Amino acid sequence: MAFKNDDPCLAKVGDTEPIFVVRAQDRFAPSLVRLWADLVEAHYAGNRGKTPYAVHEKVASARTLAMRMERWTPRKWPD
C-alpha cells in the first residue's frame, strides 16, 4: 500500500492534480505500462536528444513492473 506522504512518486502529486491508477489485477495493466514505456522511449528517440539516466531507470522499472503484473493473480476484466 502506498500513501502520498511515504511514496516518492505520489509525494510529487499536487493536492488537486488528477491521477490515474492501474492495478495489477486489471488485465490491461501490463500492456498499458509497456505502452507508456514505449512512448517515453519514442519521445527521446524522436527528439534525438540524450535520454536522461533517470528516465532509463524509470522505463526499466516500468517494464519490470509490467512483467510482475502479468504474473499477478487473480487478474480480471475492468469493472
Dihedral, CA of residue 29, residue 30, residue 32 and residue 38, to nearest 10: 160
User: What range does the domain containing 62 cover?
Assistant: 49-79
Report if residue 75 sits inside a domain. yes
Number of domains in the chain: 1
Contact by Cβ (8 Å): 47, 22:
no
Query: Tens digits of per-residue pLDDT, 5-39?
Result: 777 888 888 989 999 989 999 999 999 999 999 99
What is the percentage of the chain residues whose pLDDT exceeds 70?
Answer: 92
Q: How many residues does the chain have?
A: 79
Report if residue 54 sits inside a domain. yes
Report if residue 61 sits inside a domain. yes
**Residue 36, C-beta contacts closer than 8 angstroms, at least 6 positions apart:** 62
